[in-house]
Each structure stands twice: as structure tokens, then as C-alpha cells.
Structure 1
Amino acid sequence: MSAEGRVYGYSAVLMGSPILLKLFEHNEGRAMRVFRLIKQLETLLTVNRPHSEVMAINHAAGDHPVVVSQPVFNLIARAKEVSMMPGSCFNLAIGPLVKRWRIGFNGDSVPPAKEILALRALTQPQQVILDPQLRSVFLEKRGMEIDLGAIAKGYIADRVRDLLRQEGVENALINLGGNVQTLGGTPDSSPGSWGIGLKKPFGAPDELIGVINVTGKSVVTSGVYERYFEIQGQRYHHILDPHTGYPLDNELLSVTVISDDSIDGDIFTTLLYGMGVEKSLAYLADIPAIEALFVTRDRQVVFSSPRQFSFTLRDDSYHLA
């Protein structure tokens, strides 16, 4: 690779994850602007701190509507729309269940069944009332909590991409920990695309099943190996089924979505996880802009239709379906 094609990496820890920015010029000012934007958006959307626009909504549940900024309102409206789809496993009102399980946040026990049943009554997305004219959000019942964790990283990754485009950047990569958004490809390299590693479930951090190659696309992976605990050989992961209140249990170990926008990757990894492989493939047949790659418990790698990416298998204990 020539000097012009040299990659400069900048990193920070934000949103509880290591953040990596790759540029093809040394520009610390640009990296600082990217990290500042991520921090600003995290401050608006987080539920892991006592004060944010989202937490203001949660604190006022059952009491009064809260007026929020237009970007936050738009994001909540998008999350509610997806949550209301028939059979959707995406649910912006799942906060009480996430908070009770605490998987990934020192949670190591299964809540009593009666408690889960009671909390499910507080996770009805239709009880999130939106007023577009006032830009207000109202949670009808006390104890309700919205949680945008399933969509916030994708939204932030897209805003970083937009900032870089505004600054005239043609080739770059931002990795928000599970959400990778790329601009262009890698100059002076063949085939010119970004190689995104597909992690081996429950393997060492650097163990890969293979490499996904993309140009100017988002790659979002969600897996049961990311945050979990085990009790008596039973594994409980962080991807909860809002219809049961328990972790989703099907043939999948991970779902990766390739799309233009990272927010779509966030949304579709959750939707497809709930559907399983067969229903997902049928569903995606009518959505050409979204492609997916599934890793199953029996070590199969299944794709929908790889038009927007290519995949190279690196681990011969897995096989392409």
C-alpha cells in the first residue's frame, strides 16, 4: 500500500464500547469532532445515566408528556413504528425487562416468572404516545421505560458517516462495537473493499468464522455470545423476546445485516433474530436493500442474497449452507 493509502486509526471508549475510526489521512481534529459528536448523541439517548432526554421521558412515565428535540422524537417515532409491526421482536418499551435482567450489567439470575409477567404489562409499545406537533412523548403507565439501546448505535453511526461526508471524506470506517459503517473502500488495495471480521461465537476475541467484504455499506452483527450468563448449563443472553420476557431461543447464534444505513442494520438484526432463518429468508426476498448473514448452532453460515457483499470462510469447522 502506498503512503497515500496508509490507514490512520483513532480510538476512544464511548457508549460502554471501544470506538474505532479509520481514516486515510492523519487528522486528529477530525477524529476529535467525530468522538465529540458520538458523546453528544450518547448524552441525548442513553438510559445508563440519570440524565438524558430519554431518561426525562422515563422519569415522567404515567405523569406527563415530555418535549424532546426533533432528532430524538424522530428516532423514537421510528422505533415505535417498528415495534408495532405484527409479531415484531423489536420493542422500544422493553426497558423494564432489560433493567430487571441486567444481562451484561452484572445480572446473573433468572427473575421469578411472576415478576416477568408483571413487567411485560409495562412493555406495550402502543402505550408510548407521540405528539408530532408538540414533539412530546408520554408513557401511559408508571414504571414504563423506553430503551433505545437496540437502535441508538446505528443512528449514531449514520450521523458520523454524514459528518464525514460533509467534510469531504470519501473513504473511512467507524466501528461502534458491533456496528460498522463504511464510506467508500480502501484505496490502493485489492479488491478495494473493507474487510469486516465475522466473530466466532464464544471464541477468542480474534477468532473469526470469516470476512465480509463491503464498499460503502453498514455491517451490523448481533449475537447471543456478546452478553450472557450461565446457570446449570443453561445460557441466558441479552436478546430478549418481548412476547415472553425471556431470551430468544432458536437456532441462531448471530445475525449480521448489510445495508446502506446502520440504523436499518440495528432494526433488522432484531427483527430477523425473532423470525429465525427460514422466515427471514422469505421476508428479505421482498427487501433487496437489506441483506443478511446467519450463523446457526449447527455451524452453518447462511446468506440471504449476497449482492452487496462477498464472504470468505476462514474456519473450516463451519460450512456454507
Structure 2
Amino acid sequence: MADLHHSRRDFLRGKAALSEAAGAIESAVDAVLGDPTPAARLAGGQSPETARAAWRVLTLTRRAMACDFALRLCVSRDQNDTAAGMAAMDLVERLEDQLTIYRDQSELIALNRRAAEDWVEVEPRLFALLETCDRLHRDTEGAFDPTGGPLSRVWGFHRREGRLPSPSEIDAARGLVGWNHVRLDPVRRAVRFELPGLEINVNSIGKGYALDRAGELLAGRGVTDWMMHGGRSTLLGRGRNLVAGINGWLAGIPNPVDPSQRLDVLTLEDQALSTSGAGTQFFEHEGRRYGHVIDPRTGQPAEGLWSASVVAPTAAEADALSTAAYVLGVEGTRRLCRRRPGATALMVGIDDGDARIVRVGG
């Protein structure tokens, strides 16, 4: 019979751990709605009681990009207009149609099929996203690489069924990876692959990009005070939390050893936060744990941290940089933050059963 007696640390290695950890971001925001912290700066000098009497939070949700997106709008007590919020959610769905690699009609699929044979012109905003990927690839020393899909497949994480590949399998997959083989023509907004079999997958930046685009739409319609997240792991806050009477939105970094506690609470003032880790997708072989975040430079799963969180001006940056920070570790992330002075990273590790957080940059 299997041993049913597991320690708390063993329990936290599984799916429930990241579920609780991700939920801590959301619960930190929930707590603020009714109980703003004294450290938070008050919006307009109003008291929390006055704020709660005048405003309420309207929440809209939508399933997209294999996760739940949620938009929280601060509205007056008598306001029920959701047109702008619904339009933002519709935009997220359209972006999924463009960027997914799981639907044959997507523009990204078409690009991957043709770019090794000839230059392919793409939609202007998609080209801008690929230019962002190019800059982030350089700044992260190659730790962020949107061509790393073959490595996820060879390790079995593409289907969420982890396996231990042979060295030859890893070498073969690495031979199909490398953003340095992607060429961008800014005049024509065209893309060309120098390596047959190369493909672009924007999973590690797509949610953040969708949040940024939704934010542009909301701003264009005069909506200023809101928070939106994609799958709880990437969060974008704009304006003020009027219900709590504070400038910005609070988000917590959970303690993986004791998810009822937070290692830190951040105030996002027109900023984004994203967290990356391997708490839900991993497998164990001969006592070693292999997580789903693969270092594209080595073909091996990244290890050494429980999670890496990054605060940045945009959600796309935060999304991509949190993945890179998890791969790079503390010292590599110090170099990254020197190149990106607008970013702050919070690295969480577990040492002798205790969670520890290291703040880098900022």
C-alpha cells in the first residue's frame, strides 16, 4: 500500500501548491477591498469609509489562452456599463486566435509554416511583439526564447505528461531552437527563419501582451482605474483602487511553505507583476524533480528556485522577464535588472524548509 503520510513540504510540491500560491495574488487584492493597509497611499485623501460608500468593483471574466482572465473595474455605486470591459475581453479572444499554435487558422501558425521558405509579412502589432521578443532575448542572455517549443515537447510537457528524454533526443530538439535564427525586416514588417523546423511560440509572453492590449483599449475609452489578470500569474494594474481608497493595487507574494502567509505585498502603481515557477508541471525520476520551465540554452529544466516574480512597466515585459529570471537565477537576474532598470525581481527559494525571498533591482 502506498504511504499516505506526507509532510507539508511534500504536499506543497504538487498541484495544490501553485493553486494556493496563485490564489494569494488574488486574495491580496480581495483583502485590500475591505481593509486597505496603512502603508498604502490614500487616493485623493479620502477615507476608506468614504471610498467604499462611493465606489464598487465590477468584475468581468473570460476563458482564453488556457486560463481565466479577470478584469476588475472601479465604478460608481450606480454604474453598470460594461461595454468597455466586454470589448477588452473580446480583444483578448481575438488575440488568442491570432497567436495560438493550437488552431490551424492562427496567423502565428501560418508564419511558422512559411517563414523557413520565404519572408512572411505579418500584422503590424504582431511584428511589434516579435521585435519586443527580439530585445528581450538579447537582454536575458537567451534565457527568454520563444522558439523553445521543441524542448517542451521532448520533455513531455507539451501534453503535460513529463518524461525523461535521452541525451540524443535533447540534442535533436536543441537543434531546432534558437531565436538567433529569426530575421526581422522592420521596413516590410516581415519575418524569415534561417533554420528549417524553427517555430515561434509566444506562451511565455502572450498573456502579458494581451493584458497590455486590453489596457490600451480601456484607456482609449476613458477607463482609468482597474486591475486585470491572466490566469492570476500575470497581473496589470492601472490607476487607483477607489474602493479601498488607495493609489495602485496590492498584490502578494505567497509563502510556498505556508500559503496563509505572504513573503511580501507590493503596490502596483501603473505597473505589472508576473510570476513564473514549476509548481504545477513537473515530474520526479529517481528522487530528482524536473520542472516544465526549460532553459533554452541547455535544454535542461531550470532549477534552484521555487518561483520568480517580476514587476515591470508593461505586462508583456513582466511575463517574459519572470520566465527568464526563473531560468537565470539570482545572479543572472541581477545582470538582467541592470539592463532593464524599470524591472524589479523577487526570487523565492526554499532553504532548510524555510521560504526566503531575494529582491533584485528596483
CA contact (8 A) 1:80 1:92 kept: no
Decide which moves more: 31-40 or 278-287: 278-287
Q: What is the match of residue 317 of structure 1?
A: none
CA contact (8 A) 2:237 2:271 kept: yes
Structure 2 counterpart of 1:254: 307
- Indicate whether 1:269 and 2:331 are aligned: no
Is the aligned partner of 1:97 residue 2:151? Answer: yes
CA contact (8 A) 2:140 2:336 kept: no
The runs of 5 or more residues in structure 2 that have no matched partner are 1-50
1:180–1:218 CA contact under 8 A, matched in 2: yes
When the two structures are superposed, what TM-score results if normalisation uses the length of structure 1? 0.86
Unaligned runs of 5+ in 1: 307-321
Task: Give yes or no for contact 2:278–2:293 (8 Å, CA) kept in 1.
Answer: yes
Per-residue CA deviation, residues 171-226 of structure 1 (Å, 9 max, x unaligned), is: 1011012110011121142544312132444877x775443222221111111214
Aligned 8 A contact 2:241 2:249 in 1: yes
- For 1:142-181, list aligned pairs within 5 A: 142-177=196-231, 178-181=233-236
1:150-183 CA-to-partner distances (Å, cap 9, x unmatched) read 1111111111111111111121011012110011
Alpha-carbon distance in 2 for matches of 1:6, 1:248: 42
- Structure-2 residue corresponding to 1:304: 360
Determine helix, strand or coil for the equivalent of 2:130. Answer: helix
> Given that residues 85 and 218 in structure 2 are in contact (C-alpha distance below 8 angstroms), is that contact kept between their aligned partners in structure 1?
no
2:279 aligns with one of 225, 246, 261: 225
Amino acid at match of 1:266: D
Aligned residues: 304
Deviates more, 1:15-24 or 1:263-272: 263-272
- Range moving further from structure 2, 36-45 or 59-68: 59-68
| Cross-structure match for 1:55 | 109
Q: Is residue 291 of structure 1 aligned with residue 344 of structure 2?
A: yes
Offset at residue 131 of structure 1 (A): 2.2
Deviates more, 1:115-124 or 1:80-89: 80-89
The percentage of aligned residue pairs carrying the same residue is 29
Q: Given that residues 19 and 174 in structure 1 are in contact (C-alpha distance below 8 angstroms), is that contact kept between their aligned partners in structure 2?
A: yes
Q: Return closer, same or farther for 1:209/1:13 CA change in 2, 3 Å cut-off.
A: farther
Matched, 1:12 2:62: yes
Report the CA distance shift for 1:77/1:215 in structure 2 as closer, same or farther (over 3 A). closer
Name which structure has the greater RCO, CA cutoff 8 Å, separation 6+.
Answer: 2
CA–CA distance in structure 1, aligned partners of residues 226 and 190 of structure 2: 36
How many Å apart are 1:54 and its aligned residue? 1.1
Alpha-carbon distance in structure 2 between the residues aligned to 1:226 and 1:65: 38
**What is the TM-score normalised by the length of structure 2?**
0.77
Cα pair 2:74 2:243 within 8 Å, conserved: no
Cα drift, residue 240 of structure 1: 0.8
1:21 is matched with 71
Match of 2:241, SS?
A: coil
User: Which residue identity does 1:244 align to in structure 2?
Assistant: T
Q: Within 2, Cα distance between the matches of 1:281 and 1:142?
A: 35
1:31-90 Cα offsets, whole Å, 9 max, x none, are 220111001111111112222111112122532332211111121122123324573211
Question: In 2, Cα distance between the equivalents of 1:256 and 1:89?
Answer: 15
Q: Distance in 1 between matches of 2:147 and 2:336?
A: 24
Query: Quick check: 1:66 aligned with 2:116?
Result: no
Going from structure 1 to structure 2, the CA distance change for 1:63 and 1:226 (only over 3 Å counts) comes to: same
Structure 1 pair 262/86, CA: closer, same or farther in 2 (3 Å)? closer
**Aligned twin of 1:182:** 237
Aligned equivalents of 1:243, 1:286: Cα separation in 2: 19
Q: Please, what is the CA RMSD of the aligned residues?
A: 2.3
Distance change in 2, residues 1:29/1:102 (3 Å): farther
Q: Structure 1's 105 and 210: CA in aligned 2 closer, same or farther, altered over 3 A?
A: farther
